[in-house]
Homo-oligomer: A and B are copies of this chain.
Amino acid sequence: MNAALHIVLVGAGNVASHLAPALHAAGHRITAVWSRNLPNAISLADQVQATATNQLNELPAEADLFLVSVADDALPTVANALKRPGCVVAHTSGTQPLAALQGTSEHTGVFYPLQTFTKGRPLELANVPFLIEGPELLTQLAMQLSNNVQHVNSEQRKHLHVAAVFACNFTNHLYAIADKLLANRNLSLDLLRPLIAETAAKAQHAAPATVQTGPAIRHDDAVLAKHLELLADTPQWQELYHLLSHSIQRLD
């Protein structure tokens, strides 16, 4: 694929705001950006020399690719309003099946970058796995952005997304709990940041279950009991501590 594509971005959230500049930098032309929230559409469109709108019926009639990157609950509304037979229409969701785009076009696909995107935090897309389903054009496009492009069907992607929630969203929440526990004692999360970095670094090469450390895997009941006692003020975290320790021991 050498030709520059005309791409319409339907959505201006975390994912779209990372993809749009990357697609633009790869030489493609973003013709329009839509968002329910007009200032968001304008802000992103300005970065990539596109027009902005908050009206789905104002989107261009044609483009090589309509890339739909909206919250899952907005997808049915968008799909209903977006009829573009002859064009490729793809979404970027980890949870939605290909079928969620049914009726928009006969060339539907999925263009899912498996990463946690935060607006304003730059990210090297080159290492991000792009999970593709559907038209070859999507594979070609992903390969311009990343060295890690794979074909994954809707069924596999569903399970991948659940696993990602554990590895990313829940992990971040455990960091947040640690932060609050320290703040309660006037201690800073800075004390744990090297530990957080090393734990993730270790998992880059090892099978996590084989490098498990801590009192639960050692079956150190005295420490487990002490820790549960220390968490008495926050019963919801005490319950989590209990359940996670038990789960570690089951997997042993």
Contact = CB atoms under 8 A, between A and B. Distances in A.
Contact of A179 (B148, B199, B209): B209
Contacts of A173: 208, 212, 216, 244, 247-248, 251
The A interface, classified by DSSP as helix, strand, loop or mixed, is: helix
B169 A171 contact: no
Contacts of A215: 95, 165, 169
Contacts of A115: 194-195, 198
A75 to B, nearest CB: 10
A240 B247 contact: yes
Contact of A247 (B116, B148, B231, B237): B237
A159 B184 contact: yes
Given A174-B171, A195-B115, A227-B162, A247 B236 contact: yes
A219 to B, nearest CB: 10
A15 B141 CA distance: 48
Contacts of A73: 220, 222
Given A114-B195, A198-B116, A239-B243, A163 B182 contact: yes
A131 B182 CA distance: 14
B189 A196 contact: no
A229 B60 CA distance: 39
A165 B158 CA distance: 29
Interface string A146-166: 001010100110111111111
Interface string A200-225: 11111001110111111110101100
Interface string A15-55: 00000000000000000000000000000000000000000
B213 A169 contact: yes
A196 to B, nearest CB: 5
B164 A195 contact: yes
A194 B247 contact: no
Given A170-B174, A196-B167, A240-B243, A230 B129 contact: no
Interface stretch (A2-10, A79-87, A120-128): A120-128
B237 A203 contact: no
Interface string A107-143: 0000000111110010100011101000000000000
B200 A199 contact: yes
A123 to B, nearest CB: 7
